[in-house]
Structure 1
Amino acid sequence: MPSIADQVRKAAPAIDTVVSEYCAGYMNHISTTSSAVDLQAEVEFVRDLLLNAGASPRAVATLCEGLLSELAPLIAQQSQSSTAAKKLDQALVIGSQRDIASSVGLFGGNVDIDSVGGRKIDSRVDKKKLEKAERKIQAKLEKRAMKTVEYEASKLLNAPTDEDYDKFFMEINPLMLGGAAQGKSKDIKIDNFDLYVGAGKRILSDTSLTLAYGHRYGLIGQNGIGKSTLLRALSRRELAVPKHITILHVEQEVTGDDTLALQSVLDADVWRKHLLLDQDRITKQLVELEAKAGELEGNPETEEERKAIESERSELDSMLSEVYAKLSEMESDKAESRAASILAGLGFSAAQQMNPTKSFSGGWRMRLALARALFCKPDLLLLDEPSNMLDVPSITFLSHYLQGYPSTVLVVSHDRAFLNEVATDIIHQHSERLDYYKNSNFDLFYATREERRKNLKREYENQMAYRKHLQTFIDKFRYNAAKSQEAQSRIKKLEKLPILEPPEEDQTLTFRFPQVEKLSPPIIQLENVSFAYSTGRTIISAVDMDVQLDSRIALVGANGSGKTTLLKVLTGQVNPTSGMVSRNARLRIGYFAQHHIDAMDLNLNAVAWMAKNWPGKSEEEYRRHLGAFGITGTLGLQKMQLLSGGQKSRVAFACLGLNNPHILVLDEPSNHLDTAGLDALAEAIDKFEGGVLMVSHDVTMISRTSKQLWVCEEGKVLKYPGTIEQYKQDILAKADEAGVVQKH
């Protein structure tokens, strides 16, 4: 059984060590006492200490239950074997300790540990150490009470529902018109805060967040480090964002109902929506009053009633004028055209804009959520992996749109090309802190950080060498009378050297696909292939394409243009409506599905799942194979539901290689991967000796791995003569001609 100290540390790993060590020592002392103590009270005292220090309530509750059940019989046994006098003395000692520990904030006034109950007793407590510990604990807790933001998991997951979205919006973003916010700075500076999530897990420690108005920040860092949590904290004003700064966070997809797509975007501006409702209500009341006044006209007996109606009408006229002024100030008359333009840029045709939101799939509803945020033009726009839900044309529109966005943008993304185009500054979240790289896109950040890391490493290594040199001399001549003075001088030099921490090493991943058995061409060939659903809607038409062992093909186009359908025809998952598909008889294909997680049995671990679907290997072979994709140690033996999205993707990539494929067919492989995973995948594809056909929206991945670009558009699949960058320029040119690209 773990020691009591180990149990305390395990229950509260993230709190200040002064508190955890004090509690561990205190409970150890309780466990060895032979006096009759109130164990429940002692455990509750330790519980309060841990909770106030920021420990997880659930973990502390479990700890306290364990301590009570473990210590109760032990203390009872010790107490039976002790004398009454000894019991009394030790009870007084313990009582005095708890009185002292209750003295300051957590602990209360001052108690003389040397004198309890009017007489001198022998104390086994080191009074100076105890007082020092108390002062440290109190200072830490006072500081933390002022700056800590802590979230329970349920608070993070429970986003506003449709019913209270309007209320939530108006609370977060109070209406400020008529110059109410003029003259107030829209820069954001939040100093010295801690950020926790879930069971006491600290994400940021003593950190400052600075966002200059009008800058576009790319927030980057490894998966699972807490970037999305920081965005949620800002969006709910759990961090001290000034009230006059409006905030919108694109996090969840729009709920499907009968609201038209265009109207859903218009309704996103809740204040405009409510002002329009007020306008309709007041106008209706005025019409009713006008009719009532007409009925009373010419009747002298109703003079008083007519005066009351006139007074009410005057008041309503004044209210209506105020509503008109507010709507005019927010340019309400231009709202519909602006909303339609944003939707068009994100891929919604004029017909789709008039469809109900419930008719769209999850990916399209996420686009609606993005359109709603862009339409509202908040002072602080928060975007969490926006490129994951968009195709290349929509990403191109979004990046172009944001380049002219007048307010502040904070975007979490692993898409390097997107960050290079959008970001004016980079914030790197790591090691519970935020590092700022001003006037940097992703490439500049990467180069600057690498240079910083090399300099820190060089400085660290130089100091280590110097320390070693000094220590060698000291060890050699410490007891040499002739050299003792020089040895003492070097000891002083060694003590004065600043303590340097070794620089952080970047997380590195390596993916390895197996070697490829050679095949004679043709490998896969499509001739005049078409596919249509039973409803008669044609998805792809008259496609001619071939895939060879040296192919590196990227397939791009708008969502819904038939890219995934083409992959399914190529792999034989569906049969073409017309045309011919030829495949080499010995061909093996490794297929990575866009929604690969849906096909996994998350109740199994990765090894068991692979053994079930690709039998024939030993557990050690499966674990070794997973290790080639970064699933090392015990990760392969954990239930897959406990793995992160990126780790699940790595398991899926590992499965691709189990049948030694000749061709890799990848549908959106970059989703869920962080920078290290994207680098590993690109390098693995580059080294793979077979063919690769990939659907992707990640421009950097396409640039690094593909030699040919094919475009799905209006049912056609055609080879594009230029690069992915030229394709993006063509998209912008077409959008400009259609009037979709607009000034802000």
Structure 2
Amino acid sequence: MISVNNVSVYFGAKPLFEDISFVISAKERIALVGKNGAGKSTLLKLLAGIDAPTEGVISRPKDIRIGYLPQVMQTSDERTVLGECQQVFSHITSLEHEVERLAEEMATRTDYDSPEYMELIERHAQRTDLLMMQTSGNIEADIERTLLGLGFERTDFDRPTSEFSGGWRMRIELAKILLQRPDLLLLDEPTNHLDIESIRWLERFITSGSTALVLISHDRAFIDATTSRTLEIELGKLYDYKTNYSHYLTLREERLEQQRRAYENQQKELQATEDFIERFRYKATKAVQVQSRIKQLERIERIEVEDIDRRAMHFSFLPAITSGAYPVIIEGLSKSYGTHTVFEGVNMTIERGEKVAFVGKNGSGKSTLIKCIMGEVTDYTGSLRLGHNVEVGYFAQTQSQELDGNLTVYETIDREAHGPIRTKINDLLGAFMFGGEESEKKISVLSGGERGRVALIKLLLRPANLLILDEPTNHLDIRSKEVLKEAITRFTGTVIVVSHDREFLDGLVSRVYEFRSGRVTEHIGGIYDWLQKRDREDNTFPSSLSELSPSAKATTSAPISSGAEDYQRQKEQAKERRALEKEIKATEERSEAIDTELRMLETQLSDPQHATDATLFSRYQALRSEQESLLARWEELAMKLDL
């Protein structure tokens, strides 16, 4: 579908990446990974046709439809939410006019046997088919289904887009892209502004559709659920792994170990050669050998070892005095803004040492309740008390605005750090993506996400026995999340965390409070326990086993229902779904194997020596035919899975 051939991008004389080549096939779903600054977003822009490479060629079919969602975008405020989405279908009117014009031309011309008339018929048929395909189904229903899936309420549809925050405007743009039904989706951190329910809806949309995908994301659960191939950019090179992200990590470690061994062996050889040159440089009898060794050194292509810090970064929060047995006690709490009730009748008792999660759609009241606990909002009804000796450590993205813009990142953290932790400042900065020169940046030049990370590091250096974290993983990479998660796990105090990151919450919290429709409901257990309970209550099932927690992937939980008949029906549905998932996985694996063999055959057939090889061509045609059958079966299975 898209072919990237020997592409390089330079910033001045410095290469971002060099001579990379790969192919994106139809319906293929790819994760694009690598360090910040490795060139992932740049490559996405190249694929979208927004930027051009310094060298090389990117080939795309002329009629390919590409949907591109950048991290930062310019949005329009001229329409309502519904009106903005309806703009996606404005091209249908143009297409209808074109079909009418072609039909009129066919009716008036009389050169029925001419090549031009045959081309006219072909063009009319193609455009008619395209029109039928794009107008199939109910457009208004598609818009409604997509907006609801991304978290909008029906009452939002007629609101001007100017009334929404940047995160909600991003959802509008994402909805428009999905409604276009593109051949290829290019998504750069799409989950940053989505809640758990919207993320899971987007997962199901992607996995049940036929759209190809190239994804940049730090949400590990989302990556594993939606992709089956991983492209890594590292040190200007591209590595292609035909597997999902979790398995890629294992294979990558094996490759890096081989790379390190090769590097060490080469260093020994280089040292031996240099020793020989130094030893015999001034001996006339060895002049020829010395010159030969010097030329040999010049010809050697030096092996680079990826600059990855593999030291285990372990960090513990600074100790604080022990709080009372119940740090937070809430009884009958209600909060409204005018006629809008945010939540009412909230009852919540959090015990010392507990780690709990607040989950729910954006705007459902999670941050408002936290502000009530922090004393930032006081005009509520009901009772809210903090326990004895509670020392709160609070993180919210808005705290980044309070940082001193005249200080560097290092100076900011250095002023906050006290005691033994001062010896680990550089390690801590590196763990949160401020290693090396990044630590010398002024706060004033940092992006919002970078400032948020600095504010989070400051929190880690303050003693507290109650941590309240509002979306702490936004703008963190996977390694930084792991460092933070381990620190919170080791923390002996109490934790309240608002997050949409399932991988981060899994194994971290033991109780979940769900904010929904003005109510706050307590759920005992971890994040995946809550998700499975929600699926049973809503009479839905996970779109794939990747939606289950790691400990539950071997089996699905029995649904809770009101009667034996309903229970048996749901069991049969779950069994049927597992069988479909097994077949779709086998279909995908066979399809990938065929893709590999087809590429090999294409290479052979492009060689003049094999261009007329009937056996090769026959094999190629047979594989193409099998691939078409597999794709048709895949679509059939995907539709069945969309229960």
Q: Write the deviation string for residues 75-103 of structure 1: whole angstroms up to 9, x where unpaired.
A: xxxxxxxxxxxxxxxxxxxxxxxxxxxxx
Match of 2:482 in 1: 679
Deviation, 1:459, is: 3.6
Match of 2:62 in 1: 243
Residue pairs, 1:247-646, within 5 angstroms: 247-251=66-70, 252=72, 255=75, 257=77, 259-272=79-92, 274-275=94-95, 327-331=131-135, 334-438=138-242, 440-462=243-265, 464=267, 501-507=303-309, 510=313, 512-575=315-378, 577-606=380-409, 628-630=428-430, 631=434, 635-643=438-446
Deviation, 1:203, is: 2.0
Q: After the TM superposition, which of the residue ranges 378-387 and 224-233 deviates more from structure 2?
A: 224-233
Q: Provide the C-alpha distance between the structure 2 equivalents of 1:467 and 1:608, rounded to a whole number of angstroms.
A: 41
Aligned-partner SS, 2:91: helix
Q: Provide the C-alpha distance between the structure 2 equivalents of 1:412 and 1:600, rounded to a whole number of angstroms.
A: 29
Note if 1:191 corresponds to 2:16.
no
The change in CA–CA distance for 1:279 and 1:349 in structure 2 (over 3 A counts) is farther
Match of 1:233 in 2: 46
Deviation, 1:188, is: 1.1
Contact in 1 for aligned 2:317/2:462 (Cα 8 Å): no
Give the % identical residues: 30
Q: Provide the C-alpha distance between the structure 1 equivalents of 2:273 and 2:155, rounded to a whole number of angstroms.
A: 78
Aligned-partner SS, 1:582: strand
Aligned-partner SS, 1:532: strand
The change in CA–CA distance for 1:704 and 1:500 in structure 2 (over 3 A counts) is farther
Given residue 373 of structure 1, which amino acid in structure 2 is its aligned partner? Answer: I
Deviation, 1:529, is: 4.1
Q: Provide the C-alpha distance between the structure 2 equivalents of 1:431 and 1:420, rounded to a whole number of angstroms.
A: 24
The change in CA–CA distance for 1:646 and 1:507 in structure 2 (over 3 A counts) is farther
Q: Provide the C-alpha distance between the structure 1 equivalents of 2:147 and 2:500, rounded to a whole number of angstroms.
A: 19
Deviation, 1:524, is: 2.1
Residue pairs, 1:54-133, within 5 angstroms: none
The change in CA–CA distance for 1:399 and 1:518 in structure 2 (over 3 A counts) is same
Residue pairs, 1:140-219, within 5 angstroms: 187-196=1-10, 202-219=15-32
Work out which of the residue numbers 524, 528, 537 in structure 2 matches 1:725: 528
Q: Write the deviation string for residues 129-155 of structure 1: whole angstroms up to 9, x where unpaired.
A: xxxxxxxxxxxxxxxxxxxxxxxxxxx
Q: Provide the C-alpha distance between the structure 2 equivalents of 1:325 and 1:676, rounded to a whole number of angstroms.
A: 48
Aligned-partner SS, 2:138: helix
Q: Provide the C-alpha distance between the structure 2 equivalents of 1:637 and 1:322, rounded to a whole number of angstroms.
A: 58
TM-score, normalised via structure 2 length? 0.69
Match of 1:120 in 2: none
Q: Provide the C-alpha distance between the structure 1 equivalents of 2:204 and 2:412, rounded to a whole number of angstroms.
A: 43
Q: Provide the C-alpha distance between the structure 1 equivalents of 2:403 and 2:43, rounded to a whole number of angstroms.
A: 30
Given residue 17 of structure 2, which amino acid in structure 1 is its aligned partner? Answer: L
Contact in 2 for aligned 1:218/1:411 (Cα 8 Å): yes
The change in CA–CA distance for 1:476 and 1:382 in structure 2 (over 3 A counts) is closer
Q: Provide the C-alpha distance between the structure 1 equivalents of 2:90 and 2:236, rounded to a whole number of angstroms.
A: 36
Given residue 244 of structure 1, which amino acid in structure 2 is its aligned partner? Answer: D
Aligned-partner SS, 1:330: helix
The change in CA–CA distance for 1:702 and 1:238 in structure 2 (over 3 A counts) is same
Give the structure with higher Rg (CA): 1
Q: Provide the C-alpha distance between the structure 2 equivalents of 1:603 and 1:559, rounded to a whole number of angstroms.
A: 33
Match of 2:499 in 1: 696
Given residue 35 of structure 2, which amino acid in structure 1 is its aligned partner? Answer: Q
Contact in 2 for aligned 1:512/1:629 (Cα 8 Å): no
Deviation, 1:668, is: 0.9
Contact in 2 for aligned 1:457/1:503 (Cα 8 Å): yes
Match of 2:458 in 1: 655
Contact in 1 for aligned 2:324/2:388 (Cα 8 Å): no
Match of 2:557 in 1: none
Given residue 68 of structure 2, which amino acid in structure 1 is its aligned partner? Answer: H
Q: After the TM superposition, which of the residue ranges 394-403 and 680-689 deviates more from structure 2?
A: 680-689
Contact in 1 for aligned 2:510/2:525 (Cα 8 Å): no
Contact in 1 for aligned 2:364/2:515 (Cα 8 Å): yes
The change in CA–CA distance for 1:571 and 1:415 in structure 2 (over 3 A counts) is same
Deviation, 1:639, is: 1.5
Q: Provide the C-alpha distance between the structure 1 equivalents of 2:384 and 2:228, rounded to a whole number of angstroms.
A: 48
Q: Where do 5+ consecutive residues of structure 1 fail to align?
A: 1-186, 282-319
Contact in 1 for aligned 2:318/2:462 (Cα 8 Å): no
The change in CA–CA distance for 1:723 and 1:512 in structure 2 (over 3 A counts) is closer
Aligned-partner SS, 2:382: strand
Given residue 252 of structure 2, which amino acid in structure 1 is its aligned partner? Answer: R
Contact in 1 for aligned 2:9/2:17 (Cα 8 Å): yes
Q: After the TM superposition, which of the residue ranges 496-505 and 576-585 deviates more from structure 2?
A: 496-505
Contact in 2 for aligned 1:524/1:570 (Cα 8 Å): no
Q: Provide the C-alpha distance between the structure 1 equivalents of 2:449 and 2:249, rounded to a whole number of angstroms.
A: 21
Deviation, 1:413, is: 0.5
Deviation, 1:555, is: 1.6
Aligned-partner SS, 1:214: coil
Aligned-partner SS, 2:474: coil
Q: Provide the C-alpha distance between the structure 2 equivalents of 1:533 and 1:276, rounded to a whole number of angstroms.
A: 49
Aligned-partner SS, 1:386: coil
Q: Provide the C-alpha distance between the structure 2 equivalents of 1:595 and 1:684, rounded to a whole number of angstroms.
A: 22
Q: Provide the C-alpha distance between the structure 2 equivalents of 1:340 and 1:534, rounded to a whole number of angstroms.
A: 27
Q: Where do 5+ consecutive residues of structure 2 fail to align?
A: 53-57, 102-123, 545-637
Match of 1:182 in 2: none
Aligned-partner SS, 2:26: coil
The change in CA–CA distance for 1:330 and 1:519 in structure 2 (over 3 A counts) is same
Contact in 2 for aligned 1:524/1:581 (Cα 8 Å): no
Aligned length: 511
Q: Write the deviation string for residues 29-48 of structure 1: whole angstroms up to 9, x where unpaired.
A: xxxxxxxxxxxxxxxxxxxx
Deviation, 1:542, is: 2.2
Given residue 531 of structure 2, which amino acid in structure 1 is its aligned partner? Answer: K
TM-score, normalised via structure 1 length? 0.60
Q: Provide the C-alpha distance between the structure 1 equivalents of 2:476 and 2:497, rounded to a whole number of angstroms.
A: 16
The change in CA–CA distance for 1:276 and 1:332 in structure 2 (over 3 A counts) is farther
Given residue 6 of structure 2, which amino acid in structure 1 is its aligned partner? Answer: N
Given residue 383 of structure 1, which amino acid in structure 2 is its aligned partner? Answer: L
Aligned-partner SS, 2:192: helix
Given residue 691 of structure 1, which amino acid in structure 2 is its aligned partner? Answer: T
Given residue 248 of structure 1, which amino acid in structure 2 is its aligned partner? Answer: G
The change in CA–CA distance for 1:325 and 1:722 in structure 2 (over 3 A counts) is same
Match of 2:597 in 1: none
Deviation, 1:651, is: 1.4
Contact in 1 for aligned 2:356/2:513 (Cα 8 Å): yes
Q: After the TM superposition, which of the residue ranges 570-579 and 636-645 deviates more from structure 2?
A: 636-645
Given residue 474 of structure 2, which amino acid in structure 1 is its aligned partner? Answer: N
Deviation, 1:730, is: 4.8
Q: Write the deviation string for residues 659-683 of structure 1: whole angstroms up to 9, x where unpaired.
A: 4122221111111111222222122
